[in-house]
Chain A
Amino acid sequence: MTAVSVKRPPAPPAAKPRRRSRDVFQATPLTFVMLLATVVLSIFPLYYMIVVATREQGATSSVPPPLIPGSSLGDNIGRLLDNQNAAFMTGMVNSAIISLTLTVSVVFLSTLAGFAFAKLRFRGRNALMLSILVTMMVPAQLGVVPLYMMMAKLQWANHLPSVIIPFLVNGFGVFMMRQYVSQSVPDELIEAARVDGCNTFRIYWSVVLPALRPAIAVLALFTFMAQWNEFFWASLAMGDPSNPTVQISLQHLSTGYYNDYAQVFAGTLLSILPLLAAFILFGRQIIGGIMEGALKA
């Protein structure tokens, strides 16, 4: 490849390299069609979910399977909400409380700690930061048994504190915010605020937080989605069918009512609505967050 630059003619026409670069990165029609097919395959299962959720009970037990939405969504949701065994509404409300509380708390505590690690001087800073990174490597399953025993002892099992208190802040959030603060808040800005007589919390609140807005949006979205989808710990800590999270309610629904797919799918459809709403409103930020995270890792 190195020979190329030597052999290149001395004065190539100015327009040529540009056109070539366009050729290299221009999508062929085949690429475009394949991409469209991928998108269709990505979306079709969700479309099918809508189809089943809107058809009458038992429509799935027909050949050919239904492929066009029906008009029974209201009936199906009605049966779902009357279903005492799945406690679906309780699950939705519980999950909303858990996800929103944890989103606020993770964002607040992560930005606070991230700011301290990025901009404040104190003894043991590097060692403490390193210890946070080490904690991120250990899988959640390892500590699950003693954690559950603690919840049982504190009488938190099957109540909201068991899925909220242990997760108020996590290493990932602190690390992400530390990276973001050190990149996007100049030291001069903090010094200037100090000269103006701001105390440290005031600096955090009025200087650092506003500069962090894009990163906060990403962390908030990821935290909300992760908590709304949390399954493993909730299946243990919120296993009581009368007080589930939304995912656990879906589990009870799917194991107990597999012959009424219309009702089950009405449940899955309602359960993804908050996520779809977040995606429609903040899709760009979510994509930006995933891609930026990939570059920093």
Chain B
Amino acid sequence: MSLPTTTPAHSAELPPPPGRAPRSPSSFLVRASKWSRLDTKASPYIYIAPFFVIFGIFGLFPLIYTGYVALNDWEVGADTHTFVGLDNFVKILSDNYFWNAVFNTIGIFVVSTIPQLLLALMLANALNKRMRGRMWLRMGVLVPNITSVAAVAILFSQLFARDFGLINWLLHFVGVSPIDWQAHKWTAWLAISTMVDWRWMGYNALIYLAAMQSIPKDIYESAALDGASSRRQFWSITVPMLRPTIIFTVIISTIGGFQLYAEPLLFTGGASAFLGGTLRQSQTVTMYLMEQFYNKFEYGDMAAVAWLLFFLILVFSGVNYLITARLESSGKKRGGKK
């Protein structure tokens, strides 16, 4: 992210385009050079204009306006709206269902992300070894990421079905009686986390793999000379060296995890889909946001929830950044002492 402040500086020192001024005697060339001056002056702005026009209208304006909507009592389809100050926020923050949704979102995030990133690290470590068919194995673990969200959610809802689902069928071999995965908080969290992890583990593994390949090999060689086992090398060399990448994936997973929507929605299904089940077992904050639209027809409340969601993402990205940075540095210290 520090790139934009550093890179433009060196390319700015271009020499002025040579050979234009001396050639001006004929009127054709004068006109041509006028055009070319206009071209160099205006072209950059014309080239970046589409982004700023599109973003200004459909990105920036809604972002600013959402603050205004959140301060109004504003029903879907209504012509008028009344200013109510922070009432919408007070209403949402005192709604137990909102806190239930926050709890579910954090719960699913923890249950899915921790094993996902740990498994991705180990998978990347394995993919980094020398072996036959490496490219095929990499493509194999990325396949889940290529499938579409709705397809994954529908597929896993069937695998986790109570009566004829494959997972309950497999579990009966070890003596577990059929589980109604949708009916309870923990089991619903587990099923949703499985979908998320199945889809994203390979992707994160490839990100780790890329970072692992840039660790100099002689560090491992000298560690091996010192007699460090490969497990020890993994925890004392690989993991500390991957620190920026691990922080990156944790932040990306936080942002994605807090916006979780399609998986729990389709897993719940039926009439109570937006509620995450009859007891709101798996309603996430984004589903709660949409509930304000589909069931309550309230733009004002929706906008307030959107702000709270943004705030939650900021807070949790910060918290997770601190936790990850801490874990890593304490791991490093322990590794260095021995």
B47 contacts A113, CB within 8 Å? yes
Q: Is the CB of A61 within 8 A of B225?
A: no
Closest approach, in angstroms, between the C-beta of B146 and any C-beta of chain A? 5
Are B147 and A46 touching (Cβ within 8 A)?
yes
Nearest CB in chain B: distance from A155 CB, A: 14
Contact between chains at A247 and B148 (CB < 8 Å):
yes
- Chain A residues 178-205 with CB under 8 Å of chain B are 179, 182, 187, 191, 194-195, 199-201, 204
Inter-subunit contact A295/B221 (CB<8 Å): no
Q: Which residues of B contact A (CB under 8 A)?
A: 1, 3-5, 7-8, 11-12, 14-15, 17-19, 35-36, 39-41, 43-45, 47-48, 50-52, 54-55, 57-63, 65-66, 69, 123, 126-131, 135, 137-144, 146-159, 163-166, 169, 198, 202-203, 206-211, 214, 217, 220-226, 230, 233, 245, 248, 255, 258-259, 261-262, 265-266, 269-270, 273, 286, 289-290, 293, 299, 302-303, 306-307, 309-310, 313
Determine the residue in chain A with the shortest Cβ distance to B336. A1
Given A24-B221, A182-B11, A255-B273, answer yes or no on A271-B207 (Cβ-Cβ < 8 Å). Answer: no
Q: Do A272 and B47 contact each other (CB < 8 Å), given the known contacts A48-B166, A295-B210? A: no
Closest-by-CB residue of A relative to B268 is: A255
Q: Which residues of A contact B224 (CB under 8 A)?
A: 20, 23-24
Other-chain residue from A25, A145, A166, A229 in contact with B66 (beta carbon distance below 8 A) = A145
Binds B, one of A71-79, A115-123, A211-219: A115-123
A232 to B198, CA, bound (A): 20
Contact A143 B59 (CB under 8 A): yes
* Distance (whole angstroms) from the CB of A89 to the closest CB of chain B: 16
Q: A146 and B65: CB pair below 8 A?
A: yes
Q: Which of A45, A135, A201 has the most CB of B within 10 A?
A: A45
- CB-based A-B contact count at 8 angstroms: 328
Which residues on B sit within 8 Å (CB–CB) of A23? 224
Residue contact B4 to A133, C-beta cutoff 8 Å: yes
Q: Which one of A146, A258, A269, A283 lies within 8 Å of B269 (CB-CB)?
A: A258
Task: Contact check, B150 vs A4: say whether CB atoms are below 8 A apart.
Answer: no
Residue pair B66, A146 in contact (C-beta under 8 Å) = yes
Q: How far is the CA of A191 from the CA of B18 in the complex (A)?
A: 9
What A residues does B233 contact at CB under 8 A? 24
Given A115-B47, A232-B261, A254-B157, the answer on whether A268 and B4 have CB atoms closer than 8 Å is no
